[in-house]
């Protein structure tokens, strides 16, 4: 049987470490690391994500402020809020929950965040730093994926990694992180021909397509490590929702290790947000 990578436990350990270091930060600087979370409109999934983030921040001793704006908020008003958060020295991280309402240009908004406070790692400065392999704030989900890979792979150098999905928030940054560790990286996407054969060559598979059970057991070679980023909510007949990943994990007994959904990459994303907030606070205060 393949190992199940216990994302929930690994994320809890990371949150516990952040809590200890956040307390040290508070002692040293007389104020806690602080995260501002901005939510525009009432998207139910975003509400859940924001609530989870705020709860975990508080548990780790990170001050979190929620800014809830109505869906009709003009872009200029949102930019004004970001400007004031950029200026506020007691705030170290700024996260604007996506998606934003259609009348707001998300890239304008993300570009307005001070790169030093950009705990999501989406600002072009941080994207550039990631692509040049220089220290910056790394997007939380890709960072979490790498931490999970590191729990089961001793040496990444020379391994063949196949990434499924090329989004700016998961596929591209995770591919860059794998490349930085000297994996041979193949990035695939919706237009890729012969995906199963490409995946069959992979030592490491990271899938972030949002297509339930896209990756089947016979696509995966024996001994591979499979990181499933996908999250699709499905309504069940009993009226409750369940969460489905992008991999048919039950067909992967021959893999070395796989992440579960839920309880794999998801909890790591939040834990890495806390870690990024602490990192931003330290960089802003200690240089």
Summarize as ranges the residues that interact with ligand NAD (CB under 6 A): 141, 164-167, 169-171, 188-190, 192, 195, 208-211, 214, 229-232, 265-266, 269
Q: Of 113 and 205, which CB lies nearer to ligand NAD in the complex structure?
A: 205
CB of 284 to ligand NAD, least distance (A): 25
Q: Of 115 and 171, which CB lies nearer to ligand NAD in the complex structure?
A: 171
The residues that are catalytic are 53, 97, 120
CB of 16 to ligand NAD, least distance (A): 20
Taking the mean position of all CA atoms in its chain, how far away is CA 206? 13
Q: Find out whether the peptide bond into 85 is cis, omega within 30 degrees of 0.
A: no
Q: Of 121 and 230, which CB lies nearer to ligand NAD in the complex structure?
A: 230
Tokens of 77: 């008003």
Q: Of 91 and 220, which CB lies nearer to ligand NAD in the complex structure?
A: 220
Going by C-alpha positions, the residue among 183, 189, 143 that lies closest to residue 167 is: 189
Q: Of 2 and 188, which CB lies nearer to ligand NAD in the complex structure?
A: 188
CB of 155 to ligand NAD, least distance (A): 26
Tokens of 223: 């001994």
CB of 74 to ligand NAD, least distance (A): 26
CB of 72 to ligand NAD, least distance (A): 26
């Amino acid at each position: 049987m393949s190992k199940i990578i216990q994302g929930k436990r690994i994320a809890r350990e990371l949150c516990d470490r952040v809590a200890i270091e956040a307390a040290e930060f508070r002692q040293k600087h007389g104020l806690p690391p602080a995260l501002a979370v901005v939510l525009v409109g009432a998207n139910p999934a975003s509400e859940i994500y924001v609530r989870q983030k705020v709860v975990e921040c508080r548990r780790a001793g990170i001050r979190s402020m929620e800014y809830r704006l109505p869906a009709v908020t003009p872009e200029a008003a949102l930019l004004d809020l970001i400007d004031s958060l950029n200026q506020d020295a007691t705030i170290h991280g700024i996260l604007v929950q996506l998606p934003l309402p259609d009348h707001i240009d998300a890239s304008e908004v993300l570009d307005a965040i001070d790169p030093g406070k950009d705990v999501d790692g989406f600002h072009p400065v941080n994207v550039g730093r990631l692509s040049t392999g220089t220290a910056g704030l790394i997007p939380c989900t890709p960072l979490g994926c790498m931490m999970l890979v590191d729990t089961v792979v001793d040496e990444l150098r020379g391994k063949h990694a196949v990434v499924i999905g090329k989004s700016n928030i998961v596929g591209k940054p995770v591919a860059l992180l794998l490349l930085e560790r000297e994996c041979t990286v193949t990035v695939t996407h919706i237009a890729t021909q012969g995906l199963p054969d490409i995946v069959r060559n992979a030592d490491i598979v990271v899938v972030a397509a949002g297509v339930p059970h896209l990756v089947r057991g016979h696509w995966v070679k024996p001994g591979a490590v499979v990181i499933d980023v996908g999250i699709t909510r499905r309504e069940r007949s009993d009226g409750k929702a369940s969460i489905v990943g992008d991999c048919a994990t039950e067909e992967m007994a021959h893999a070395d290790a796989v992440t579960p959904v839920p309880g794999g990459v998801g909890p790591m994303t939040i834990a890495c947000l806390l870690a990024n907030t602490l990192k931003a606070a330290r960089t802003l205060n200690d240089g």
